[in-house]
Amino acid sequence: MKYILTLLVLFGLVFGQVESIGTEKPTKGNLSIGLFDDSTGLSLIGYTYNLIKTDMDEYFIGGGTMIFAFTGTVGYKHYYRKSKVSISSAFCGQYVAHLGFMGFMSTASSTIEYDFLEWAQVKLGGMGLIMLTGDNSGDMGIVPFIGLNFR
């Protein structure tokens, strides 16, 4: 699991200087630390890389890890308001690998982000999820999250 996360971080460092679409600065990665995340789902530490970034939209890939679990994600994030206090929603498809199960999870989240520095922000929100595991069973729920995001 740690090898896959290392590869994702290296991918972001190598391709992080690619110019993005729109008027934003060059595309960069985001490191997220906290209790879950709108982009990487059920993770304590996550990394996302913006494939396409416009003024109000982001398309990303990423991965995250908990102590015994790994999530790989692809998703879309839309900002309704972008300022020092931003409001956004994200829609993601994720694959979760854990010691006890593996499965696909789709999430939809609403987030309030507070930029306390140019390169750091606090995220607070809620995430609705549907998880389908390999034995054709599933779980649904709403999970709150809070964390720090470093650009």
pLDDT at 22: 45
pLDDT at 48: 92
Q: Using only C-alpha atoms, what is the Rg of the chain?
A: 15
Among left, alpha and beta (phi > 0; psi -120 to 50; other), residue 34 is left
pLDDT at 21: 45
Count of structural domains within the chain: 1
**Residue range(s) defining the domain that contains residue 31:** 2-150
Mean pLDDT by 10 residues, the chain (151 residues): 45 43 60 87 89 90 86 93 92 86 87 89 90 73 89 81
* CATH code, domain carrying 73: 2.40.160
How many CA atoms does the CB half-sphere of 133 hold within 13 Å?
11
Helix (H) or strand (E) holding 7: helix 2-15
Q: Name 90's bridge partners.
A: 77, 109
pLDDT at 55: 87
